[in-house]
Amino acid sequence: MADYSAVFNCPGCGSPLETLEGTISLQCSYCGLIMRLGSPGRILKYFYDSRMDNFAAKFAAEKYIKKNGLSLKFTPISNRLYHLPFYRFKGMSYALYSKDVMSEIREGDYDLPMKNTVFHRRCRNFDLTIPAFDNKMFGLDSLGVRPGVMPLTVYHKIFFPSESALLDITVTPEQAEQTAMIMFFFGVGMTAADKNYLSSEMIGEGLSVIYYPVWAYSVERDGMVSTMFIDGLTKDVYHEVFDSFEYNGRGADVSKAVELNPTQHKCPNCGFDLPVSELSLYYYCANCDRSYTLEDDDYHSVELKCASHENGSNYHPFWRFQFAIGETDTVGKFSKILTGEIPLIKKSKANNPFYLYIPAFHSGNLNALTNLGGRLCRMQPELSFNKKSQPPSADMFLPESEGLELARFYWNLLRSKYMFLCGEKYDFESCDIKKGELIWLGLNRSYGGPKKVNFKKAQASYI
C-alpha cells in the first residue's frame, strides 16, 4: 500500500514536519511537543501544491500541440488552475460467498449429478481514490497510484494558493464508500454470476480528502476552440475537449472534512504525556497506570485486560462481543448448533458466555488474521485476565463500531459450515450482541510490530 506523506507546521515551534497521512499522534523532533492529529471518523483535507505557473502551463500546452503535429498558431482564451477533490479511502474488505459445484456420485451402475455448495472467503486490503466532484469534463476518475515523490500539504484555507479554484465537493463520504465498494468488487472479479454473496464488509481504516491540481488551458486554433487539461504535477496534457471551459463553484462541501488542528496528547487523569503512534487508537499512561481508547475525538478510559493465550508474550489487541441467539447464550448451548467444533464440548466451558473475537490490529496478511479470529471464535478459549500492562506487539487500530461490523462477518463465517443455520433466525441482525470489550491476548508469534512514526524535516520548497 502506497503511503502518502503530508507536511504541516508544528504548532509549538513552527517547524515544517512531514508525517504519514492519517497519523494519529506524534512528537515534534525540534521542540519535543507531543500532539494528536487524528481521531477515528475524522476526515482531514490535504492538497498537492502545483509547481507550475501560467507560463509553465502554456509551455505544456505547446509541447502537446507540437507532439500531435498541429499548428502552433493559436490564441489563448483562458488559463486557470483548479484543485479537484478526491476521497482517499483505505481499509480492508471481507467477503464470504458460496459457489455451487457439480460433482457426480455413483449409485449402482449410474453416475448421478450432485450439487454441492462450497463456501469461500476473500479478504483484501484496499486503497482507492474516488472523485468527490461531479464534473466529467476534467476526465479524471481516480488519482491512480501516485508515487510518493511529493508530500501532500495539509489544507488550511489561509495557506491555499489564492489563484486556484477549488471544485465543489458534491459527493458525500457515504456515497464515496459505496462507489469504492462497487469498484473494488468489480476490480477483483467478485461479481461473477456463479457466486452468491453471504456477507461482505468494508472496514475503513482511513478516509481523507485530497485536492489534486489541474490546469485548464483553452485556446482557439484554426477557428476551433479546445481546452487542454494539464496535470499540475507531471506537467503533461492528459486530456483534451473541443469546447471552451469555465467552472463556477458554489463553495459547496458535503464531505464533513475538517482542517488539521493538532491538539494536546496527554493523560486526561494526570496530565502526563502519552506515547505517540502512527496508527494506535489505544494509549496507556505509564505514570498513573490508566488505559484509554480514542473515540469521538476524546479519550475514553478502558479497563486493561490481558491474558496469555498461546503461551507467548506477543500481546495483540482484540475486540470481543458477547453473543447470543435467543436462549442459545453459552458455549455449551452453542456446541449444540456448531456441532463440528470439538473444543466447544469441553465441560469446563459449558457455562461460559459465548463471544465473537475480532482481531483489532493490522496485518498485511489478512487471511492469516482472519484464520486467527475464526479460530478464537471456534475455540472459545478459557482466559484468565490480569490488569498488568504488557508491552503491545501490535497497534490497536480498529474502532469498536468497525469491530462490530466485522463481528457480523465472523458470525457468518462460523455459520456458513452448517446448512440449517442459514435461516433468518440465525441472521446477525436477529441475534443479541453486547457492547465490545477490548482485550489483549499473548500469542506465540508477532503479527507485525507497532509501526514506528516516520517523520523527518520537510523540504522547505514545498511549504
Q: Does 272 bind Zn ion (CB under 5 A)?
A: yes
Q: What residue type is assigned to position 253 of the chain?
A: D
| Segment contacting Zn ion by CB under 5 A, of 30-38, 63-71, 216-224, 244-252 | 30-38
Question: Hunting for cell 475486540 — which residue is that?
Answer: 319
Give the nearest distance from C-beta 33 to Zn ion in angstroms.
5
| Segment contacting Zn ion by CB under 5 A, of 2-10, 58-66, 145-153, 342-350 | 2-10
Q: Does 286 bind Zn ion (CB under 5 A)?
A: no
Q: How far apart are the first and last CA of the chain?
A: 26
- Our CB check for Zn ion shows the closer of 28 and 128 to be 28
| Segment contacting Zn ion by CB under 5 A, of 168-176, 197-205, 279-287, 332-340 | 279-287
Of the residues 258, 270, 368, 463, which one makes contact with Zn ion according to CB under 5 A: 270
Give the nearest distance from C-beta 456 to Zn ion in angstroms.
14
| Segment contacting Zn ion by CB under 5 A, of 25-33, 112-120, 124-132, 364-372 | 25-33
Q: Does 285 bind Zn ion (CB under 5 A)?
A: yes
> Alpha-carbon distance 384 to 386, whole Å?
7
Give the nearest distance from C-beta 453 to Zn ion in angstroms.
14
Q: Does 182 bind Zn ion (CB under 5 A)?
A: no
Look at residue 270 and give its three-state secondary structure: coil
| Segment contacting Zn ion by CB under 5 A, of 27-35, 199-207, 392-400, 413-421 | 27-35
Q: Which helix (H) or strand (E) holds 197?
A: strand 195-221
Q: What residue type is assigned to position 139 of the chain?
A: G
**322 in Cβ contact with 433 (< 8 Å):** yes
- Our CB check for Zn ion shows the closer of 16 and 249 to be 16
| Segment contacting Zn ion by CB under 5 A, of 121-129, 136-144, 281-289, 441-449 | 281-289
Give the nearest distance from C-beta 438 to Zn ion in angstroms.
18
**224 in Cβ contact with 243 (< 8 Å):** no
Count of residues that interact with Zn ion, criterion CB under 5 A: 14
Q: Does 165 bind Zn ion (CB under 5 A)?
A: no
Q: Does 112 bind Zn ion (CB under 5 A)?
A: no
Q: Does 28 bind Zn ion (CB under 5 A)?
A: yes
SS3 string, 294-338, reads: EECCEEEEECCCEEECCCCCEEEEEEEEEEEECCECEHHHHHHHC
Look at residue 184 and give its three-state secondary structure: helix
Of the residues 267, 366, 369, 438, which one makes contact with Zn ion according to CB under 5 A: 267
Strands (E), 61-131: 75-107, 110-131
Of the residues 78, 191, 287, 386, which one makes contact with Zn ion according to CB under 5 A: 287
Q: With CA atoms as reference, report the closest residue to 283 among 260, 305, 297, 266.
A: 266
Report H helices in 322-425. 331-337, 366-379, 400-415
The contact mask relative to Zn ion for 218-257 (x = CB under 5 A, - = no) is: ----------------------------------------
Report H helices in 124-257. 173-187
Look at residue 3 and give its three-state secondary structure: coil
Report H helices in 164-307. 173-187
Give the nearest distance from C-beta 208 to Zn ion in angstroms.
23
Q: Does 414 bind Zn ion (CB under 5 A)?
A: no
Q: What is the CA radius of gyration of the chain?
A: 27
SS3 string, 449-462, reads: CCCCCCCEECCHHH
DSSP label at residue 426: G
Q: Does 210 bind Zn ion (CB under 5 A)?
A: no
Q: What are phi and psi of 118, to 5 degrees?
A: -115, 135
Q: Does 11 bind Zn ion (CB under 5 A)?
A: no
Provide the binding-site residues for Zn ion, judged by CB under 5 A: 10, 12-13, 28, 30-31, 33, 267, 269-270, 272, 285, 287-288
